Structure 1
Amino acid sequence: FATAFVNSLLGARALSDGLGLWDWIAVALLFAIGGLIVFLLWPYHKYTFRFDPEELLHRYVDGDRPLKISAMQRALALRIKADMASNWRIIQRLRAALQIALVLLLFDILAWLFAVAGI
């Protein structure tokens, strides 16, 4: 929303007197931010945070040697920890992309302001 608002507000004013260097820079930054937004919003299906009840029953209860409750709890706790580590790597990539997009947005605002000021 912030990117769309800034670019529509400042871009309309800056482009009213033609295209200059700062205008091209701002447009390039807009496309870069758009690419990062697509990266952030692209559906990603490798998150792991659910258990399949049928798999759990087969593995821990209905198998050849059913596990005791304490062994099941330990195995599930270790699986949750592994899932957290896997998800953390994904979240870190998304967080980095969001931070880069924020910095690019700030540069985009500066580029539009320089274009409006005629610098």
Structure 2
Amino acid sequence: MRNSLPVQSRRILLVEPSYLVAMDLCQKLRRGGAIVLGPVPKVEQAQMMLARKDVEATLFSASLPGGEALAAQLAVWRSPSLLLSYVPLPAGHPIRSGRPQLVIPAEDEALLQAAGALFLPQDSSA
């Protein structure tokens, strides 16, 4: 079933300041077939990766120092992204900027479904 998920062979940048959390998320994404770029722990490194790599989506932590700047840049570029946080944040929160959010820790399937949803066609009628 996991091989049919939209993350299969997708290039996903992971931006997470905690090494242990990053390793857990990388493992889950790779088990789902994603090509994980990084992980990187800093906004500056993420910006360099976004400028140089063919990144299809970005997963980044709400606890990332300077994360609001990355969130704003991703919004301007209309780059698919998923906010990872330890607590639910309202859609209007500056770092969230209306983007989808996944509260972590999360089970493998929840992470893969949330990341995979970034690759599904968007309904323009909503």
**Fold match (TM-score > 0.5):** no
- Pick the TM interval, shorter chain: under 0.3
Which of 1 and 2 has greater Rg? 1
TM-score by length of 1: 0.25
Structure with a larger share of its residues in helix: 1
Bigger RCO of structures 1 and 2 (CA < 8 A, at least 6 apart): 1
Structure with a larger share of its residues in strand: 2
